[in-house]
Amino acid sequence: MLFRIASASLLNRKTSVLLTVLSIAISVAIVLSVEHIRHEAKKSFTSTLSSTDLIVGARSGRINLLLYSVFRIGNATNNIDWKSYKTIAQQKGVRWSIPISLGDSHKGYRVLGTNTDYFKHYRYGNKQALRFDQGSEFKSVYDVVLGADVAKKLGYNLNQKIILSHGISEISFTQHDDKPFTIVGILKSTGTPVDQTIHISLAGMEAIHIDWKNGAPIAGLKIDAETALLKDLTPKTITAFLVGLNNKILTFRLQRQINEFRGEPLLAILPGIALSELWQTMSIIEKILALIAALVVIASLLGMTTMMLSSLKQRQREIAILRSTGASARFIFCLIELEAILVAIVGIGLGVGLLWCSLLLAQPIVADYYGLYLSANLFTLRTGIYALVIIGVATFLAIIPSFMAYRDSLAQGLTVRE
């Protein structure tokens, strides 16, 4: 009977109830989307790199090393000697290593010099390997392999020739225009910074800088593309390298060895730890967003309380009728509470539905533009907990109108004061 009266009463006040439900739905959609996107972004972020046991670079900050080696953000402060790399790569227990050489770009996309081990050993997400959408890995010096986004955004196809620019700014005045590269492969989308990377061989990287010194062309020296191929194209330095070990137990020992390397100051980091450290630095924004979302929910629930309060005046007679047929004041209290809870539940349901639909709509767009895969699976334990908390707050706030109705029904009883 309580439920029947509560639902009929709400249906009777369709307009104001519907508006309240809508405001709760929107606030719930906001709070859940902040939470959901945060969770998905973190998942996507921490799955940028997988199976790599150590990242090694010149000694600088840990986050800095992670940023330039994995996320193509910022710059290395120093390079590593090729000989140092070789020494470490040949250590016992090292299963594979991937050298990385950075510093050039093409239309704002970073160029990464590496070797074919990159395509063999690089892993992202849940230990997924890189796969080719078209073509294959580079074979000759002036071959280039594009990340999925680069090809898509710039509209490049296989066998097209591109010119790399020196430095990493989008508008570069120095072009390596004497040594054009041919696109031989395009990778499948990974949802990681790999999609925004242009891959060339270390030899290619060496070749375009053969007539350069200290970041500038050597005056009067011009070595054309063909002649460069005849030179020794073994790199002298690289920027960083990734290491995979046979046995994870060796990780800390090798890390210490690298950090104490005698040849030059090096830094080895564990990608998992560094990734979560980096995520921590971003957590303030995350927390502010969550706080704003929570306040929006509270505001909408306060709106509901106001709606309930203002309806009490009109409902005096109805309450008097209930009391006259024997309803206790407690029944009246529960009636108003139940109405609030029903409004909250319907609002939450609608909010989840709203968010679910918009996620389904946004999924392909977000994946396209940001390489971020948003799952639309909202029906998780987390959502359940949020729903319960919101219902709890609604119940708590509804104590105000419920108690007023309770008190009035005790004092005024069967008579209605106009």
Residues at the site binding another protein, with contacts judged by CB under 8 A: 1, 4-5, 8-9, 11-12, 317-318, 320-330, 410, 413-415
Element (H, E) at 16: helix 14-46
Provide the minimum distance between the beta carbon of 418 and another protein in the complex, in angstroms, as a whole number.
12
Provide the minimum distance between the beta carbon of 317 and another protein in the complex, in angstroms, as a whole number.
5
Residue written as token pair 């950090």: 259
Residue closer to another protein, measured from CB, 81 or 318: 318
Residue closer to another protein, measured from CB, 4 or 262: 4
Residue closer to another protein, measured from CB, 4 or 127: 4
Provide the minimum distance between the beta carbon of 355 and another protein in the complex, in angstroms, as a whole number.
32
Provide the minimum distance between the beta carbon of 390 and another protein in the complex, in angstroms, as a whole number.
27
Residue closer to another protein, measured from CB, 4 or 313: 4
Provide the minimum distance between the beta carbon of 272 and another protein in the complex, in angstroms, as a whole number.
60
Residue closer to another protein, measured from CB, 12 or 174: 12
Provide the minimum distance between the beta carbon of 394 and another protein in the complex, in angstroms, as a whole number.
22
CB within 8 Å of 211: residues ≥ 6 apart: 217, 218, 221, 222, 223, 228
CB within 8 Å of 336: residues ≥ 6 apart: 308, 312, 398, 401, 402, 405
Residue pair 184/223 in contact by the 8 Å Cβ criterion: no
Residue closer to another protein, measured from CB, 86 or 317: 317
What's the number of CA atoms in the CB half-sphere (13 Å) around residue 35?
A: 22
Compute the distance between CA of residue 213 and CA of residue 233 in angstroms, rounded to an integer. 15
Please list the alpha-helical segments (H only) found in 97-250. Answer: 117-121, 148-154, 202-208, 225-230
CB within 8 Å of 206: residues ≥ 6 apart: 113, 233, 234, 235, 236
Provide the minimum distance between the beta carbon of 6 and another protein in the complex, in angstroms, as a whole number.
11
Residue pair 145/138 in contact by the 8 Å Cβ criterion: yes
Residue closer to another protein, measured from CB, 165 or 409: 409
Q: What is the CA radius of gyration of the chain?
A: 31
Residue pair 359/340 in contact by the 8 Å Cβ criterion: no
Residue closer to another protein, measured from CB, 332 or 378: 332
- DSSP characters for 194-217? GGGEEEEEHHHHHHHTTTEETTEE
CA separation, residue 405 to residues 162, 311, 329 (Å): 76, 10, 8
Angle between helices 14-46 and 329-370 (to 10 degrees): 40
Residue closer to another protein, measured from CB, 72 or 323: 323
Provide the minimum distance between the beta carbon of 323 and another protein in the complex, in angstroms, as a whole number.
7
Residue closer to another protein, measured from CB, 232 or 418: 418
In this structure, the number of other CB atoms found within 10 A of the CB of residue 316 comes to 17
User: Cα dihedral sign for 143, 133, 53, 75?
Assistant: positive
The encoded tokens of residue 290 equal 């969550």
Residue closer to another protein, measured from CB, 157 or 310: 310
Provide the minimum distance between the beta carbon of 395 and another protein in the complex, in angstroms, as a whole number.
22
Residue pair 190/129 in contact by the 8 Å Cβ criterion: no
Provide the minimum distance between the beta carbon of 7 and another protein in the complex, in angstroms, as a whole number.
10
Provide the minimum distance between the beta carbon of 1 and another protein in the complex, in angstroms, as a whole number.
5
DSSP class of 258: H
Residue pair 9/322 in contact by the 8 Å Cβ criterion: no
